[in-house]
Amino acid sequence: MRASFDAKRQIREAKIAELVAEAQRDGRSSERIIAAIFYDSEHAPHSTNRRQLAEIGVDSPSPHAPELGERESHEALWRIIYGLAFLGIFLSTTDHLDDRALLRILAGRILDESIRDVPPSADMSEFIDLGPCRPDQAIVCDGATATPAGMKPDGLDGPFEHADHGDDDEESLLSRAREPDDGWPRVVDRDRFLPRPRRPTSGGQLT
């Protein structure tokens, strides 16, 4: 598993170095962070979260499989949650979904969406927010309901890097996972138990 991650990181670093060198030759900005973002978003190979989970030994239910029982759904869901966290992907705002409903969303769509296969990193995390779109956030236009720019109808957003969100510091981002949005019923008490990123301290240790 670590060997697989290390191989992906080595390929990524080599490709980023090539992009930096190319930018220098062309007289363009050659900051590594710019090259890294460009590689991660445009050049990294395609994959899916389901495939990434399988690579670390985490099985996920097929979207066409019969619905699991209550206990099996609970166990399968938490295997996926912790598997995604190992990959640097974290869920938030899920308390309005019971285990079966959340598992259906994950196994039925999210895990099979095309993504860029970027290896996990201690300084970068992806969040998938499953909070529903509030009625007061909807915009009615000519009889059709739309949501504000950047928010999908099902409330999903992400991925993002913490450093790119200005005033949204880590504490404010994580607080979204601790409490459900006002006005939405809490079906389960799950969000406060969800895994969260471990951040390196000034001494290089993870917290």
Instruction: Give the pLDDT confidence of 145-160 residue by residue, as tens digits.
Output: 334 444 443 444 433 3
Instruction: Give me the residue label for tokens 């196994």.
Output: 107
The verdict on residue 32 lying in a domain is yes
Q: How confident is the prediction for the chain on average, in pLDDT?
A: 79
In a domain, 79, yes or no: yes
- Number of structural domains (the chain) is 2
Domain span holding position 22 = 1-44
22-26, 41-45, 93-97, 161-165: range with lowest mean pLDDT: 161-165
Residue 206 lies in a domain: no
CB 56 within 8 A of CB 81: no
* DSSP summary character for residue 206: B
CA distance 54 to 66: 20
Q: What is the pTM for the complete model shown?
A: 0.70
Q: Could you identify the residue written with the tokens 């890097």?
A: 161
Q: State the pairing for strand pair 139-141/126-129.
A: unpaired
pLDDT over threshold 50, residue 5: yes
Judged by DSSP in three states, 135 sits in helix
Assigned domain for 81 exists: yes
